[in-house]
């Protein structure tokens, strides 16, 4: 699994590429693997405001829908228009052509909560371990 | 005809679509062209041209088409169908005979009420039967299905609370609930708050107490729950909810486990729905029609949908002017044809028969559970009632998932159990044999499952590429969702 | 017992394997307070012969399309059903199958639904149709909810007063619990059609959609061109609700009129009157709205060898995945009824469907003409109609017993829902009303 060094990562498995005040956002390789074949993606419109930790988009596979959460707050300045036509791009190239939106960051402090590639790799490892544990005692799933 | 190659394939040929068959002018004629009566031309701007691509088949062609389609299906009458929480029991033939009697099938809902006295008697008596079986006081037979019953029940709850000054904002829904529960809540204008089950697969009254407030309108609970486990603390839970002015809704999907054993009305339930196509043997039809009667305690009776059926001076009448009623959820009386079948079933079984149903349902489920224990992982050690749950945890070690086990079962001639539900269990396999299955069938099913467990160790690839002997192999659902093709079009080949 | 096959030996062997001694042990963990009050106070069971006799006696108490002369429409219609229909839906492979969640063993059900969806598209002239909903009334309610989802921020729904009363009632019940929807009624004129002045005056950028019966409850067929234009001026959804599906065999389709959503009741297409249920609601719209549609959808695909097959698709709209964010809570498609309609339409075929619709028009217009001319009953509405029409009958309630004595149900008095239409009778004549009974009807009205 890939964790490009130049990106930052959120707990909800989004990646962020920072270019000055603009954040490019997508979902990580781990997220796309978990979802399976993506069949549909619903993106916001240019001009919409996104709020950190609130959902701004939805990604669908055949059997599931997942909310995509904003890693930073701001205004949407660009949307990957090609994506709704070819949602499989998210599976094939999650960090490149699978980008979703570009956000003009309203508060640069939001970036502090994001993880580095190394921290995210550890985080993913722990998540996978927890799921394994879950199978052991079949405890309550995390609430969504 | 299909161009798909069958050279190395043992599967039957792909059937044509209606629109790919037939020939212009071939349809049988039912109405002679000119019977001497005057023909009326409607104004031209209101009339359509002929419908392009509409089928034109001969009568035998039509029958052959649908007969061959039917042969591609698994069904209760040909295959064991242990779908958890679906109650795939025998659909008695006598019910079909009765439902087709013209005195039931050829009734018009807007005929004068004197012409439908027998029908109203049936409905009135069925309401009483439902009330007795569920331990409630008043019943509506109008909802067309369980989900519509849930919506009706929630609307009743909302109307009652609104009449008291505050409809409230939230519904508590266990994490094991059927998807219709939160969907119905949202349709009724409520937010859903999830209640987590404990590590024994049950809801704690203590947990409900933490979440209960005067903003919570009701809790929706299934009992036994979708794990097949009886919610031991149901009465305490009801007390907690009632204590803050909320109501208790029971999803009656698993009623097949309770007849003669426990009545929901005695558990503190205020509103419930019953699935006639589950507990009461009406056919599933490949996806309906069903019926979802709703039962309420006396204090909620005024909110039931109109019309109500009342008996006055030995005659049945319809009461429409009920100001507190929630109104109608659908047209006319509901799925009357289905109600006739359920009534016939209850008449046939009677009290002794219905009580026997639940006992044998429990016997069959527990028998299967015992047979499969040791071969498949059981997530909860609690006693099960009419259904039992397993996971793919043991088989996952070979990379085999629940999906693969299910698809391989098709090769053994069984319909798989319910899979991946409830969501709290990873890779759930939920088995409800029902009471109408013989011990031999259960033994054969257990043998197949055990064989598959062995295959999972010895030849996992066989499972991952299953099914092999069904009319089609595993279908590309991704393609169907990415590029939905939802109809045939005239210029397609 | 009746349908449980367990012999004493079976029970003994099974209990032994489980490790219990009595059947009661299976539920000993249920609180005893509940077990004490659980017994069912119902009569004991009956044999099949006894049940059949009892039910036949109950059936005898009813007046049916077979032993009475019905001129009743109002949303449920007595039509000819070819023998092919029951032969197919009686097949247990169709009737006792489950929802096709395992597509490899459900291709019969799935392909039949795909064909059904296609037929509904053809009938309604729309691009996409779902697998069916409960009935015409709840389908109308679902259409309103879908339009609301697609027009966020707008509040008003305009409902024609000439739309079937049960349909209007279901819409009201469904939207009552949503605090952001306002229902407004559009009156009808003396022609029995929509009051266009009222519509023009009440349609604006805050309107979600307009809902009309097509034909409406009075049987009247409206010209939808001006309504489509009024909707276009403000981007408003046009929703048609067709209670008499057979009419679409002859009438211009909702799609041709530019409807955004076309719904209705399918009972006319091969399903007995059944006291109003089960039938099915049909629901059709345009492709670009498909992800907002409620109900099941079957799509075409292939398996690993390239064989064509069919699957449930776009399931992420539905309750079992989307849960509280689903487009609806529905978990059925009244499938066996949809299948009946599919067999019906396949049997009648292109010409047959149009032909029987034309016979309906002929019969109904003939009856109306005779009643107006010979029984001197004045028409209430002047608009064009399919197979139902409204006539004025002075002293209607006093006259009805005279018809009952001859086993005639001459129509549906409208006063029950329309106090402004007293002594008005909705009379329906279909291909099933023969010459003799029409003569009796006219004769009785004429006072013979």
The enclosing domain of C115 has a CATH number of: 3.40.640.10
Instruction: Choose the closest CB to B101 out of C56, C297, C353.
Output: C56
**A74 in a structural domain:** yes
CA distance C313 to chain A (A): 8
Q: What are phi and psi of A77, to 5 degrees?
A: -105, -20
Residue-level pLDDT at A132: 56
* Statement: residue A8 has pLDDT above 90: yes
pLDDT given at position C429? 97
Mean pLDDT to the nearest integer, C84-109: 96
**pLDDT, tens digit (0-9, with 9 covering 90-100), for A94-128:** 999 999 999 999 999 999 999 999 999 999 998 88
Chain C touched by B29 (CB under 8 Å)? yes
Distance in Å, alpha carbon of B480 to nearest chain A alpha carbon: 9
What is the model's pLDDT at position B367? 98
Collapsing DSSP to helix, strand or coil, A17 comes out as strand
pLDDT digits (tens, 9 = 90+) for A19-42: 999 999 999 999 999 888 999 998
Q: For the residues C221-248, what does the mean pLDDT come to?
A: 97
- Is C415 within the bounds of a domain? yes
Range 21-40 of A in CB contact (< 8 A) with B? 36-37, 39-40
Mean pLDDT, chain B, rounded, equals: 94
* Phi, psi for residue C225 in degrees, rounded to 5: -60, -55
Least confident of A68-77, C64-73, C310-319: C310-319
Asked if the structure places residue A2 within a domain, the reply is: no
| The architecture CATH gives domain B352-479 | Alpha-Beta Complex (3.90)
DSSP calls for B117-183: HHHHHHHHHHHHHHHHHHT-SEEE---SSHHHHHHHHHHHHHHHHHHTT---SEEEEETT--THHHH
Q: Kindly state the percentage of chain C with pLDDT values over 70.
A: 99
Residues C295 and C363 in one domain: no
Please give the pLDDT value at position C268: 98
Same-domain check for residues C169 and C279: yes
Residue partners of C296: CB distance under 8 A and separation at least 6: B287, C113, C130, C131, C132, C312, C318, C330, C333
CA B317/CA B313 separation, integer angstroms: 10
Final residue in a domain of this structure, among C343, C366, C396: C343
C382 Cβ contact partners less than 8 Å away, ≥ 6 residues apart: C190, C191, C192
Using the Cβ of B251 and the Cβ atoms of chain C, whether some distance falls under 8 Å is answered with: no
Residue C448: pLDDT band (50, 70, 90) is low
Question: Do C331 and C354 sit in the same domain of this protein?
Answer: no
Mean pLDDT in residue range B130-148: 96
Looking at the structure, tell me whether residues C355 and C311 fall in a common domain.
no
User: Which residue in the set B393, B478, B480 is minimally distant from A135, CB to CB?
Assistant: B393
Q: Which residue of B has its CA nearest to A84?
A: B482
Interface touch B424/A37, C-beta < 8 Å: no
Q: Which two tokens stand for residue A141?
A: 């799933």
In degrees and rounded to multiples of 5, residue B390 shows phi and psi of -130, 170
Using CA atoms, how far apart are residues B273 and B150, in angstroms rounded to an integer? 6
**pLDDT reading at A139 higher than 70:** no
Contact B478 A60 (CB under 8 A): no
Does residue B67 surpass a pLDDT of 70?
Answer: yes
Domain span at residue A23 reads: 8-107+117-128
Residues C339 and C366 reside in one and the same domain: no
What pLDDT score does A64 carry?
77
Share of chain A above pLDDT 70, in %: 90
Size of interface A-C (CB pairs under 8 A): 16
**Do C389 and C335 lie in a common domain?**
no
Indicate the DSSP class of residue C409.
E
Mean pLDDT for chain A? 87
Interface of A with C in 42-61 (CB under 8 A): 60-61
Task: Tell me whether residues A60 and C315 touch, CB distance under 8 A.
Answer: no
pLDDT above 90 covers what percent of chain B? 89
pLDDT the model gives residue B243: 97
In a domain? residue C313:
yes
So what's the ipTM on this one? Answer: 0.96
Sheet holding B138-140, edge to edge: B138-140, B294-296, B271-273, B247-251, B216-222, B170-174, B191-195
Chain B, nearest residue to A88 by Cα? B482
The whole-number pLDDT of residue B33 equals 72
Whether A141 contacts chain C with CB within 8 A: no
Judge if C95 and C110 occupy the same domain.
yes
Q: CA–CA separation, B320 vs C271, rounded Å?
A: 27
Residue C91: pLDDT over 90: yes
Residue of C101, C102, C313, C316 to mutate, testing the A interface (most A Cβ within 10 Å of its Cβ): C316
**Who among A39, A40, A63 is closest to C321 (CB)?**
A63
What residues in A contact C315, CB-CB < 8 Å?
A: 62-63
Closest CA to C408 of C391, C429, C387, C388: C429
Average pLDDT over residues B131-142: 98
Domain count, chain C: 2
Q: Is residue C8 part of a domain?
A: no
Could you tell me the strand order of the sheet in which C128-129 lies?
Answer: C128-129, C281-285, C261-265, C237-242, C207-213, C156-160, C182-186
Check CB contact of A84 with chain C, cutoff 8 Å: no
In the 8-state DSSP scheme, what is residue B195?
Answer: E
Residues C249 and C234 in one domain: yes
> Which tokens in the block code for residue C423?
């002594």
pLDDT greater than 60 at residue A134? no
For residue B481, which residues of chain C lie inside 8 Å, CB to CB?
A: 299, 313-316
Which of C312, C328, C343 is where one domain is finished?
Answer: C343
> What does the alpha-carbon distance between residue B276 and residue A92 come to, in Å, rounded to a whole number?
47
Q: Are C389 and C379 contacting, i.e. CB atoms less than 8 angstroms apart?
A: yes
For C378-416, b where at least 16 C-beta lie within 10 A, e where not — what string?
eebbebbbbbbbbbebeebeebbeebeeeebbbbbbbee
Confidence of residue B87 (pLDDT cuts 50, 70, 90): very high
Q: What is the residue range of C392's domain? A: 69-81+349-445
Q: What pLDDT sits at residue B36? A: 54
- Is residue C218 a part of any domain in this protein? yes
Domain boundaries along the sequence of chain B: 94-348, 352-479
- Best to test chain C binding among B93, B202, B486, B493 (most C CBs inside 10 Å): B486
Query: Looking at the 3D structure of chain A, how many domains does it have?
Result: 1
Confidence bin at B35 (pLDDT 50/70/90): low
Q: State pLDDT tens for residues B182-234.
A: 888 888 989 999 999 999 999 999 999 999 999 999 999 999 999 999 999 99
Residue C43 falls inside a structural domain: no
For C48-101, where are the E strands, in sequence order? 69-70
In a domain, A34, yes or no: yes
CATH number at residue C381: 3.90.1150.10
Six-digit token string for C148: 């609301």
pLDDT (0 to 100) of residue C318:
74
Determine if the peptide bond prior to B422 is cis (ω within 30°). Answer: yes
Of B2, B106, B112, the CB nearest to C272: B106
Clarify whether residues C211 and C112 are in a common domain: yes
Q: Say if the Cβ atoms of B66 and C19 lie within 8 Å.
A: no
Q: Is the peptide bond before C153 cis (omega within 30 degrees of 0)?
A: no
CA angle B238, B231, B226 (to 5 degrees): 120
Convert the pLDDT of each residue in C43-78 to its tens digit: 999 999 999 999 999 999 999 999 999 999 999 999
- Is A40 in CB contact (< 8 Å) with chain C? yes
Q: How far is CA B383 from CA B200, B227, B387, B424, in A?
A: 10, 10, 10, 18
Check whether A142 has a pLDDT greater than 70: no
Neighbours of chain C (3+ CB pairs under 8 A): A, B
Residue C136 · residue C164 · CB < 8 Å: yes
Mean pLDDT of B290-314: 97
What does the pLDDT average to over C340-346? 98
* B429-473 pLDDT, tens digit each: 999 999 999 999 999 999 999 999 999 999 999 999 999 999 999
State residue C330's pLDDT score.
Answer: 75
pLDDT of residue B178: 85
pLDDT-based confidence at C7, cuts 50/70/90? Answer: very high
In Å, how far is C289's CA from the nearest CA of chain A?
14
User: Residue B9: which pLDDT band, with cuts at 50, 70 and 90?
Assistant: low
Q: Does A67 touch chain C (CB under 8 A)?
A: no
Contact B27 C330 (CB under 8 A): no
Percent with pLDDT over 90 in chain C: 93
Token pair for B195: 């209640």
C-alpha C65/C-alpha C440 separation (Å) is 16
Report pLDDT for B463: 96
Give the minimum alpha-carbon distance from B41 to chain C in angstroms, rounded to a whole number: 8
User: Do residues B143 and B330 lie in contact, with contact meaning Cβ atoms separated by under 8 Å?
Assistant: yes
| Cβ pair C322:A62 closer than 8 A | no
Most confidently modeled range among B21-30, B170-179, C45-54: C45-54
| Assigned domain for C108 exists | yes
Interface membership of C320 toward A (CB under 8 Å): no
Residue A54 placed within a domain: yes
Enumerate the residues of chain A whose CB falls inside 8 A of the CB of residue B475: none
User: Quick one: pLDDT at residue C178?
Assistant: 84
Mean pLDDT across B279-301: 97
CATH domain B94-348 topology: 3.40.640
Q: Is the pLDDT of residue B493 over 70?
A: no
CA distance A20 to A1: 27
């Amino acid at each position: 699994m890939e964790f490009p060094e130049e990106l930052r990562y959120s707990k909800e498995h989004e990646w962020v590429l920072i270019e000055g005040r603009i954040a490019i956002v997508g979902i990580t390789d781990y997220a796309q693997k978990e979802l399976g074949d993506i069949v549909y993606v619903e993106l916001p419109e240019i001009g919409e405001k996104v709020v950190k930790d609130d959902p701004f988009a939805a990604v669908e596979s055949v059997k599931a829908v997942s909310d995509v959460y904003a890693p930073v707050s701001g205004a949407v300045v660009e949307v990957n228009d090609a994506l709704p036509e070819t949602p499989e791009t998210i599976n094939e190239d999650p960090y490149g052509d699978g980008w979703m939106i570009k956000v003009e960051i309203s508060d640069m402090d939001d970036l502090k909560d994001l993880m580095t590639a190394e921290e995210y790799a550890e985080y993913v490892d722990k998540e996978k371990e927890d799921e394994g544990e879950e199978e052991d005692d079949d405890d309550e799933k995390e609430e969504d | 005809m299909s161009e798909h190659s069958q050279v190395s394939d043992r599967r039957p040929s792909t059937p044509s679509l209606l629109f790919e068959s037939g020939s212009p002018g071939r349809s049988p004629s039912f109405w002679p062209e000119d019977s001497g009566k005057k023909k009326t031309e409607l104004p031209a701007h209101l009339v359509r041209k002929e419908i392009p691509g509409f089928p034109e088949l001969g009568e035998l062609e039509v029958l052959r088409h649908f007969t061959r389609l039917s042969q591609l299906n698994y069904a209760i009458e040909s295959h064991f169908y242990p779908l958890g929480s679906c109650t795939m029991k025998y659909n008695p033939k006598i019910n079909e005979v009765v439902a087709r009697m013209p005195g039931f099938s050829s009734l018009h809902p807007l005929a004068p009420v004197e012409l439908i006295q027998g029908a109203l008697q049936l409905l009135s008596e069925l309401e009483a039967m439902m009330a007795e079986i569920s331990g409630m006081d008043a019943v509506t037979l109008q909802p067309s299905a369980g989900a519509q019953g849930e919506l009706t029940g929630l609307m009743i709850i909302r109307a009652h609370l609104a009449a008291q000054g505050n409809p409230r904002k939230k519904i508590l829904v266990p994490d094991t609930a059927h998807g219709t529960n939160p969907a119905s809540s949202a349709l009724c204008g409520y937010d859903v708050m999830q209640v987590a089950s404990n590590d024994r697969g049950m809801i704690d009254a203590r947990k409900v107490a933490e979440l209960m407030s005067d903003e919570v309108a009701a809790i929706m609970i299934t009992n036994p729950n979708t794990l097949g486990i009886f919610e031991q603390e149901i009465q305490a839970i009801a007390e907690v909810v009632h204590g803050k002015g909320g109501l208790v809704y029971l999803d009656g999907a698993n009623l097949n486990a309770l007849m003669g054993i426990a009545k929901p009305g005695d558990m503190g339930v205020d509103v419930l729905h019953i699935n006639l196509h589950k507990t009461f043997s009406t056919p599933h039809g490949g996806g309906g029609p069903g019926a979802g009667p709703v039962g309420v305690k006396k204090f909620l009776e005024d909110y039931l949908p109109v019309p109500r059926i009342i008996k006055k001076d030995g005659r049945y009448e319809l009461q429409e002017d009920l100001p507190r009623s929630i109104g109608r959820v659908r047209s006319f009386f509901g799925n009357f044809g289905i109600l006739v079948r359920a009534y016939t079933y209850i008449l046939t079984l009677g009290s002794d028969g219905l009580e026997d149903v639940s006992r044998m349902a429990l016997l069959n489920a527990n028998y299967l559970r015992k047979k499969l224990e040791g071969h498949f992982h059981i997530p909860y050690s609690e006693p099960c009632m009419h259904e039992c749950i397993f996971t793919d945890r043991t088989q996952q070690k070979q990379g085999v998932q629940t999906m693969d086990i299910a698809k391989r079962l098709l090769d053994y001639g069984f319909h798989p159990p319910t899979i991946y539900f409830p969501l709290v269990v990873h890779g759930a396999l939920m088995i409800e044999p029902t009471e109408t299955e013989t011990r031999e069938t259960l033994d054969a099913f257990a043998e197949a499952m055990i064989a598959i467990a062995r295959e999972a160790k010895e030849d996992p690839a066989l499972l991952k590429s299953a099914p092999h002997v069904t009319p089609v192999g595993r279908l590309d659902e991704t393609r169907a969702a990415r590029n939905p093709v939802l109809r045939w079009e005239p210029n397609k080949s | 017992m009746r349908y449980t096959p367990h012999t004493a030996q079976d029970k003994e062997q099974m209990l032994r394997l489980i490790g219990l001694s009595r059947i009661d042990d299976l539920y000993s963990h249920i609180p005893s307070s509940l077990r004490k009050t659980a017994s069912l106070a119902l009569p004991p069971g009956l044999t099949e012969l006894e049940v059949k006799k009892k039910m036949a006696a109950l059936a005898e108490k009813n007046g049916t399309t077979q032993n009475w002369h019905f001129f009743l429409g109002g949303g449920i219609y007595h039509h000819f059903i070819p023998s092919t229909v029951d032969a197919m839906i009686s097949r247990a492979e169709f009737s006792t199958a489950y929802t096709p969640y395992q597509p490899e063993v459900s291709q019969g059900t799935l392909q039949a639904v795909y064909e059904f969806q296609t037929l509904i598209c053809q009938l309604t002239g729309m691009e996409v149709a779902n697998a069916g909903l409960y009935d015409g009334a709840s389908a109308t309610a679902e259409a309103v909810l879908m339009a609301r989802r697609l027009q966020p921020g707008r509040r008003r729904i305009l409902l024609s007063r000439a739309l079937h009363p049960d349909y209007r009632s279901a819409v009201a019940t469904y939207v009552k619990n949503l605090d952001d929807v306002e229902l407004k009624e559009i009156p009808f004129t003396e022609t029995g059609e929509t009051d266009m002045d009222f519509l023009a005056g009440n349609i604006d950028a805050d309107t979600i959609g307009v809902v009309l019966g097509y034909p409406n409850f009075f049987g009247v067929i409206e010209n939808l061109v001006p309504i489509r234009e009024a909707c276009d001026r403000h981007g408003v959804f046009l929703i048609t609700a067709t209670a008499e599906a057979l009419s679409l065999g002859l009438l211009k389709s909702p799609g041709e009129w530019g409807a955004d959503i076309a719904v209705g009741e399918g009972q006319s297409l091969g399903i007995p009157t059944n006291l109003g249920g089960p039938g099915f609601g049909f629901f059709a719209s345009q492709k670009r709205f498909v992800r907002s549609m409620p109900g099941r959808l079957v799509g075409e695909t292939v398996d690993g060898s390239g064989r064509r097959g069919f699957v449930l698709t776009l399931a992420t709209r539905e309750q079992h995945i989307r849960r509280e964010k689903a487009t609806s809570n529905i978990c059925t498609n009244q499938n066996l009824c949809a299948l009946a309609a599919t067999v019906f339409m396949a049997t009648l075929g292109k010409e047959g469907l149009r032909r029987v619709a034309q016979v309906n028009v002929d019969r109904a217009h003939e009856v109306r003409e005779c009643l107006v001319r010979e029984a001197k009953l004045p028409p209430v509405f002047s608009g064009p109609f399919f197979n139902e029409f409204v006539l004025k009958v002075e002293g209607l309630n006093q006259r009805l017993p005279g018809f009952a004595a001859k086993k005639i149900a001459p129509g549906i008095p409208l006063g029950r829902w329309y106090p402004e239409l007293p002594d008005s009778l909705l009379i329906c004549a279909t291909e099933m009303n023969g010459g003799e009974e029409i003569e009796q009807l006219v004769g009785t009205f004429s006072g013979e």
